């Protein structure tokens, strides 16, 4: 039998799964026993709009986009209890992990999942109509309990978006890292190499960082680009830092 390549994939246990208390079931379905993959990283995240926008950047402009952001930010399932809004982000590592986890998750649309793959995780999901101001249904929000990266490129982008290298044990990391030699601070949406009161320190000398993150921050400061072009790096360094605005 041909050896399957060891891969990494990002899984998100979405707010509807947490609200419906099916987390244990999902983790069990994703266990090494079922998928042959192992946990390489895990964190509980209250999702900011910046992180949600970066995660679902490919869907910007679609009729369900705003509803999708509300969903992943936990606003849809916890409109009044902001403190309960969270997802569980997990990195899985194993042979053929991408395909196996997508298969355990099942088709995107819960109705299709129930028809075509009863027993998959997304078969337990819900479909919520999205209406315009006139009350007409313009799209659907698919509350499908779990996110799983679809391709290698998507997995790399998503794992680097949600996790720093130090969230993952060194022998389980598969993307190149560097040791940063400079400071990068963020204040009022501006990047800087100098601390001022109110600055957030993104990178400090000696930090282990994704090589691609370091390149992007360097090019942003060198070319005086807007810090927002580095949101894909910045978002993860703001995870769980301060309470989010409602
Ligand atoms: O998650 P997956 O890769 O299977 O599907 P996608 O097409 O990349 O869409 C991302 C997510 O957007 C889905 O998992 C759904 O939760 C949501 N979605 C939605 O709410 N309404 C749609 N009409 C399509 C997708
Ligand atoms: Mg997708």
List, for residues 155-186, the tens digit of each pLDDT value.
Answer: 999 999 999 999 999 999 999 999 999 999 99
Percentage of residues of the chain with pLDDT beyond 70 = 99
pLDDT of residue 221: 86
User: What does the buried/exposed string (b/e) look like for 135-147 if buried means 16 or more CB atoms within 10 Å of the residue's CB?
Assistant: eeeebbbbbbbbb
Most informative mutation of 99, 142, 149, 155 for ligand 1 (most atoms within 8 A of CB): 142
**Residue 1, pLDDT above cutoff 60:** no
Ligand 1 atom, smallest distance to 142 CA: 20
Ligand 1 atom, smallest distance to 14 CA: 16
Q: Give 140's DSSP letter.
A: E
Distance 142 CA to ligand 1 centre (A): 6
Which tokens hold the place of 60? 């910007």
Which tokens hold the place of 56? 């679902």
Say what the pTM is.
0.97
Are 42 and 27 within 8 A, CB to CB? Answer: no
Distance 149 CA to ligand 2 centre (A): 7
**Residue 224, pLDDT above cutoff 90:** no
Question: Is 1.20.58.100 the CATH number for 6-167?
Answer: no
Percentage of residues of the chain with pLDDT beyond 90 = 92
pLDDT of residue 5: 86
pLDDT digits (tens, 9 = 90+) for 114-129: 999 999 999 999 999 9
Quick check: CB of 140 below 6 Å from ligand 1? Answer: yes
Comparing CA positions, the residue from 184, 185, 168, 186 lying closest to residue 176 is 168
* Helix, strand or coil, per DSSP, at residue 194: coil
Domain boundaries along the sequence of the chain = 6-167, 177-237
Atom 6 (ligand 1): residue with closest C-alpha?
108
Across the beta sheet with 184-187, the strand order is: 190-192, 184-187, 200-203
Using pLDDT thresholds of 50, 70 and 90, give the confidence band for residue 3.
low
Considering only CA atoms, give the Rg of the chain.
Answer: 19
Atom 24 (ligand 1): residue with closest C-alpha?
142
Distance 56 CA to ligand 1 centre (A): 9
Mean pLDDT, the chain, integer: 95
């Amino acid at each position: 039998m041909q050896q399957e390549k060891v891969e990494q994939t990002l899984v998100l246990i979405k707010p509807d799964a947490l609200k419906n208390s099916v987390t244990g079931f999902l983790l069990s379905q994703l266990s090494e026993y079922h998928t042959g993959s192992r946990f390489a990283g895990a964190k509980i995240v209250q999702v900011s709009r910046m992180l949600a926008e970066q995660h679902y950047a490919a869907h910007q402009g679609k009729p369900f986009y705003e509803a999708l952001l509300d969903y992943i930010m936990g606003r849809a399932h916890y409109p009044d209890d902001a403190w309960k809004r969270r997802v569980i982000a997990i990195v899985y590592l194993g042979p053929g992990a991408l395909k196996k986890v997508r298969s355990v998750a099942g088709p995107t649309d819960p109705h299709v999942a129930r028809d075509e793959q009863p027993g998959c995780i997304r078969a337990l999901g819900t479909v919520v109509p999205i209406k315009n101001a006139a009350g007409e249904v313009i799209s659907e929000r698919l509350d499908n309990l779990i996110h799983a990266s679809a391709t290698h490129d998507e997995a790399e982008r998503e794992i680097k978006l949600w996790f720093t290298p130090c969230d993952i044990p060194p022998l389980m990391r598969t993307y190149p890292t560097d040791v940063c030699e400079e400071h990068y601070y963020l204040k009022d949406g501006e990047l800087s190499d100098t601390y001022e009161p109110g600055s957030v320190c993104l990178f400090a000398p000696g930090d282990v960082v994704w090589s691609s993150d370091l390149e992007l921050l360097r090019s942003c400061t060198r070319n005086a680009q807007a810090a927002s072009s580095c949101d894909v790096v910045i978002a993860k360094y703001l995870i769980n830092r301060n309470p989010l605005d409602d």
